[in-house]
Chain A
């Protein structure tokens, strides 16, 4: 139907700060435009430091924040035109969020499985209690959990990493076309992080879900994303194919980010020999100097 899954044109968001007399305007997002194609699902990484506007941009795509100017169109739906609750449901069916802090995404007083079954009830076509349990369990299995572990549990009973996996499972239940993930793995256990990152790849390849991956971690962005967008102070300073941008960054800010990556490239080359015991020590010469 539509060629573009997401069409963002010249979107800006300004926040006002201060009182009546000394009012300051802060441009959190400044004239950002980009598109995601509908036919070819992809992972787009938005990278930037805190305060660069990447989260504000993500929140605008999720229709949590209204842009000051510009237009966002998701799969034919103009976000500014969403008024009725039906339109909202249709919109939420297409895009689902994963937030950074899972402790904030779940109400601490409510059981976790309630969220999963509620989402399932709202979005899935197939009915039936048994089918609901199976699909909730399926979604949880995809993120390395099971319904058995989550049933009747409260958020405080799980670790941050486990909670985040529940959040991802919940997003999957809506069968969305686009997932907006704001720093989704920064709180996930190291031994499971790569599984989650690989899961994003599987979602893209097998389920055809596009993912907007907001992060400050260049290494995982390089690993999973097809395209990359570097933001600084609300503006996109560099964008393009992830490999091209990160191998040969053009903008000074991208280079600065690139240099701040702690596992250095010299070590990476040696580590490229993927055998488990062939890993060289990154940073060793610097430390023992």
Chain B
């Protein structure tokens, strides 16, 4: 079942582990006969390869959390998967965790698919010791005697430079950085194939953040896991991800190797995003982007970026641009860019 990953860090031609195909996830509500639909994820397709850190960047209300929820199978009303499929290499044939039988989901959860969440307090039960979290999450998957398991946990905690004494501590007794490292250890102890990291370092101090990012990187290289790394912080993406997808208003607008996105951003939104990053030592004024992110209950027709786009033409208001390959491995959904690239 579990493929042996030979090359933990050679993502160029590695096989995909996750395929997301034309995924559409909408929030549908109906109050007193008034129907309202929010197209939070609208036709998103991408694949994450084995052993790579795939970044997903997007601002708030761009649908990145909905996308993760759909991938993780955490579908609860009013969220509905309207179309498309999510397929993991370790759970083939169902087209999404939400369609798979609970027995299979329980089997792969934490063993093959784990999560690092933003608020470590939400993962660790505040009234139980850290140790019990490890027992609850990982023991059923690892098995063996309790003593062996404990040794394994202690050895794993050393990787994130945590003392075994944290096991006996309650979450509130640990600092934010320690808690997040404990969560990281918890998410990686079963050596999962796929880790969903949702803003894992956003709540941390900058100094601690860099340290935790380094740990995620080194553990990921060691275990060969794939990571779907979601954050709005472009600095974090530049630091850790291999490939990067930019999401805007429920759709992907650009995807390429992270270095390529920073060196040669093509979509007008990405270009704005990259050029507006303040940097120490650079005093050039940064231009803000006019308008605001669209309301997904009533998104603009055509390309959703067109009301704010400096390059918008007539076609952008009518038709939805497809994600086309502008360069090898560099996909972008923009009429202006794709026209230029193809001409």
Binding site for B on A (CB under 8 A): 49-50, 144-145, 159-162, 187, 189-198, 216-220, 222-223, 243, 246-247, 256-263, 265, 267-269, 271-272, 274, 276-277, 279-284, 287-288
B278 / chain A contacts, CB cutoff of 8 Å: 194, 197, 219-220, 222-223
A194 lies within 8 A of B258 (CB): no
A260-B207 contact given A160-B60, A191-B272, CB 8 Å threshold: yes
A268 lies within 8 A of B273 (CB): no
Q: How far is the CA of A59 from the CA of B235 in the complex (A)?
A: 29
B263 / chain A contacts, CB cutoff of 8 Å: 279-281, 284
Q: How far is the CA of A270 from the CA of B184 in the complex (A)?
A: 34
Binding site for A on B (CB under 8 A): 57, 59-61, 176, 205-210, 213, 232-236, 238-240, 242, 258-265, 269, 271-289, 291-293, 308
Q: How far is the CA of A145 from the CA of B261 in the complex (A)?
A: 30
Q: How far is the CA of A161 from the CA of B277 in the complex (A)?
A: 17
Q: How far is the CA of A244 from the CA of B209 in the complex (A)?
A: 25
B232 / chain A contacts, CB cutoff of 8 Å: 189-190
B283 / chain A contacts, CB cutoff of 8 Å: 243
Q: List 19 A-B contacts (CB under 8 A).
A: A50-B205, A144-B291, A187-B60, A190-B232, A191-B269, A194-B287, A195-B288, A195-B289, A197-B286, A218-B280, A219-B278, A260-B209, A261-B280, A262-B210, A262-B235, A265-B279, A268-B282, A272-B284, A279-B275
A277 / chain B contacts, CB cutoff of 8 Å: 264-265, 271
B259 lies within 8 A of A287 (CB): yes
Interface centre among A195, A216, A269 (most CB of B within 10 A): A195
A263 / chain B contacts, CB cutoff of 8 Å: 234-235, 238, 277, 279
B287 / chain A contacts, CB cutoff of 8 Å: 194
B260 / chain A contacts, CB cutoff of 8 Å: 281
From the candidates B60, B280, B288, name the one contacting A194 in the complex (CB within 8 A).
B288
B262 lies within 8 A of A282 (CB): yes
B206 lies within 8 A of A280 (CB): no
B234 / chain A contacts, CB cutoff of 8 Å: 190, 263
Q: How far is the CA of A198 from the CA of B277 in the complex (A)?
A: 12
A161 lies within 8 A of B59 (CB): yes
B240 / chain A contacts, CB cutoff of 8 Å: 287
Interface centre among B242, B258, B260, B261 (most CB of A within 10 A): B258
Q: How far is the CA of A286 from the CA of B232 in the complex (A)?
A: 21
**B219–chain A nearest beta-carbon distance, Å:** 16
A272 / chain B contacts, CB cutoff of 8 Å: 281-282, 284
List 19 additional contacts besides A218-B206, A279-B263; criterion CB under 8 Å.
Answer: A49-B205, A161-B59, A189-B292, A192-B289, A193-B276, A198-B286, A222-B279, A246-B280, A260-B209, A262-B213, A263-B238, A265-B281, A268-B280, A271-B279, A274-B284, A281-B260, A281-B261, A283-B238, A287-B242
A161 / chain B contacts, CB cutoff of 8 Å: 59-61
A216 / chain B contacts, CB cutoff of 8 Å: 205-206
A192 lies within 8 A of B288 (CB): yes
Give the residue name and chain of the B residue nearest to A143 (CB): B292
Q: How far is the CA of A246 from the CA of B289 in the complex (A)?
A: 27
Give the residue name and chain of the B residue nearest to A246 (CB): B280
A191 lies within 8 A of B280 (CB): no
Q: How far is the CA of A196 from the CA of B276 in the complex (A)?
A: 12
The 5 closest A-B CB pairs, nearest first, are: A195-B288, A189-B59, A262-B235, A223-B278, A281-B259
B289 / chain A contacts, CB cutoff of 8 Å: 191-192, 194-195
Give the residue name and chain of the B residue nearest to A48 (CB): B205
A288 / chain B contacts, CB cutoff of 8 Å: 259
Q: How far is the CA of A217 from the CA of B176 in the complex (A)?
A: 18
A194 / chain B contacts, CB cutoff of 8 Å: 276, 278, 286-289
Q: How far is the CA of A284 from the CA of B237 in the complex (A)?
A: 11
From the candidates A217, A219, A247, A257, name the one contacting B207 in the complex (CB within 8 A).
A257
Q: How far is the CA of A41 from the CA of B207 in the complex (A)?
A: 31
From the candidates A191, A192, A262, A269, name the one contacting B239 in the complex (CB within 8 A).
A262
Q: How far is the CA of A198 from the CA of B59 in the complex (A)?
A: 18
Q: How far is the CA of A193 from the CA of B275 in the complex (A)?
A: 12
B272 / chain A contacts, CB cutoff of 8 Å: 191
Q: How far is the CA of A23 from the CA of B199 in the complex (A)?
A: 37
A265 lies within 8 A of B292 (CB): no
Q: How far is the CA of A258 from the CA of B61 in the complex (A)?
A: 31
**A21–chain B nearest beta-carbon distance, Å:** 20
B262 lies within 8 A of A189 (CB): no
A256 lies within 8 A of B265 (CB): no
